[in-house]
Structure formats: C-alpha cells, structure tokens
Amino acid sequence: MPEHEAGGTPTVEVRDFLRRRREQIAQRWADEPLFRTVFTVSRDEAVEAGKVVVDALAEVADAGRVEDPDAAGFSGLREQLSRMGAARSRAGLSTTQVSSELAALWPPVENLLVADMDEAPPERTRECASALGVLMGTLRLVAMQAALSEGQALIDRQRLQLLEVATPVIKLWDGIVAVPLIGTLDSARSQVVMETLLNAVVDQQARFAILDITGVPTVDSLVAQHLMKTVAAARLMGAECVVSGIRPAIAQTIVHLGLDLGTVKTRASLADALGHCLHELGTNIVNAAPDGAGRR
C-alpha cells in the first residue's frame, strides 16, 4: 500500500495527472466505442460522463487505494457504469466484448501520461504508469462487478417473483385465508411465506390463516422455528394461524426431534383446519337434507 508523504508518491502523481488532464482524457474517451455508442445525444454528453469517471479515479488515487474496488471514489460510478454496460449488452455485445471495450480506455490515458512525463526519469514514469494501470484495471473490475451485480439483482428479483407466485393465498371464507405450501422450505422461502401470509391477513382482514404443509417433504427444527415465528407474528396482529397437513411421518419427526411447537394449533388436514376456523367464527354449516329437516 503506497504511503502518503509530502511530495510525489506515484499515486499522488497519478492523482495530479488525472486532475490536470481531465479534459483531454474525457475528450479521448468520448471517441471510444464505450462512450460514443452509449451517449448518443451529443459528444458533450459523452465528454461530461468521461469527466465524472476521471474525477472518481482521481479521488481513488488521492486515497491511495488504486487496487481496491470498494474504495469510496468508485461508489458514485457504479450506476453510470451499470448503465453503460447494460446499454452495450442490449446492443448485442457479450460480457467479454464489453470488458475489451473497457480495456480500450487504458491506451489513450497511458499515452497522455507518458507524454506528460517525458522529462521525468524512466523509473519514475514506469512507477506512475504502473499505478495508473492498476487503477484502470480496478475500474474495469468495478464495471464488471456492477454488470454482474445488475445481473444478479435481476436474478434475485425474478427468484423473488417466482417465490411469490409459488406462494398463492386462497380466500377460503370471509375471514379465513389459506396458504398451501409445496416443496422445501428454506430460509428465503420461509421469509416470503411469512410476509405473504401476514400481508394477506391485513388485506383481507382475515382473523384466521391456515398454513398447509401437506406438500412440504420434511420438517426440521429450522422449519419448525419459521412456523412458530409466523404463528407468533399473526397472533400479534390479532389473527390465529393454524398449521395443517401434519402427516403422521411429520408428527413422528417432530416428536423424535423433541421440537416444541409451543401453543401452535395444528390439524392433520386442511379440511380439519377449515372446520376449526369456521367453528371459531361461530359459523354453522347446515346440510340441506332431501326431506328438508337436515341440521348438522
């Protein structure tokens, strides 16, 4: 890590160079594909964008962190770099090609630096060029990170959307909602299930929520904990959450593991849970018998 002393360490000199040559660097970059094709409104727009990048690089050099992609100076650039990367992707470029276009920003800057330092000792020039090269490399890393992050963010959003779609809420009756679960309950899914169920309770002002786990293959202590949290949260909101679909095998597992479901109300089937909730609501279901005298 370069140290800051009075006078020129390579990164300090790089910083000064960047500040001094801000306009020229931005002008040269404006003609590079990466800027030219993204900022199509006017060349001035591209130049301005280039200056923002140069300023950020100078800030990073000033902090002496040319090799650190998490340096504060880069944080303001991420959005812009994301957009540029996204624009090039939309134009049909692969990630490798975008990476090459980013790499192409280096030669113009290097040329300017070397020209500026023609009076300096060769060793010195090499040191500064090296520091600047590292900085440009880190910029490229930050840009690729931003692109990856964007991609990952898209995947996360889609995954979340999938989870939400896969967590349907069914209104069984006035004041009774049900969430039938199918598949394994991992941490992320449990969170979505809990939020979905509780939001449904509010939206429908449902006093009862049935969480049916018939389609959940295994229940371990983590799943049990999530179930208990959901029930506790529903209770705080003024609703009762019943867990149905406790198959004999699951009941055995729960007992064997010594899992304490506390005061969580459970039922073997969704139908039983519905019956319980209807009873609690004071609803009577009357069979219309053929002779008209039927009463349950």
Partner 1 sequence: MPTAAGVEARLPIRSDMDLVWVRQHVRQAAAQLGFGLVDQTKVLTAASELARNTLVHGGGGEVEVSHVTADGVSGLRLTFSDSGPGIPDLDRALSDGYTTGDGLGMGLGGARRLVHDFEVESAPGSGTTVRVTSWVGRRPGRPGEA
Partner 2 sequence: MSEQSSRPVAGHVPVLRLGEVLLVTLQGDLYDTTAQQLQQDLSETIATSRVTGVVIDISGVEVVDSFLGRVLAEIAAQSELLAARTVLAGMRPAVAITLVELGLTLPGMRTALNTEAALELLTRPAVPSRSGGLRQESP
Asked if residues 277 and 204 have their Cβ atoms less than 8 Å apart, the reply is: no
Q: What is the largest CA-CA distance in the chain?
A: 112
Q: CA 33, CA 270: separation in Å to the nearest integer? A: 61
Q: Are the C-beta atoms of residues 28 and 115 closer than 8 Å to each other?
A: no
From the list partner 2, partner 1, none, partner contacted by residue 134 (C-beta under 5 to 8 A by kind): none
d(CA 275, CA 287): 14
Does residue 289 belong to the site contacting partner 1 (CB under 8 A)? no
Taking alpha carbons only, the member of 247, 183, 257 closest to residue 220 is: 257
Phi-psi region at 208: left, alpha or beta (left = phi > 0; alpha = psi -120 to 50): beta
User: Is 158 or 205 the residue whose CB approaches partner 2 more closely?
Assistant: 205
Binds 37: which of partner 2, partner 1, none (CB < 5-8 Å by kind) = none
Residues 137 and 148: their CA atoms lie apart, in Å, by: 16
148 near partner 1 (CB under 8 A) = yes
Using CB under 8 A as the binding rule, whether residue 243 contacts partner 2 is answered as no
Q: Which partner in partner 1, partner 2, none is near 202 (CB below 5 to 8 A by kind)?
A: partner 2
Is residue 203 a contact point for partner 1 (CB under 8 A)? no
Which CB sits closer to partner 2, 96 or 263? 263
Q: Write out the residues near partner 2 by the rule CB under 8 A.
A: 194-195, 198-199, 201-202, 205-207, 229, 232-240, 263, 265, 279-280, 282
Q: Write out the residues near partner 1 by the rule CB under 8 A.
A: 70, 72, 75-76, 78-79, 82, 145-146, 148-149, 152-153, 156, 159, 187-188, 191, 195
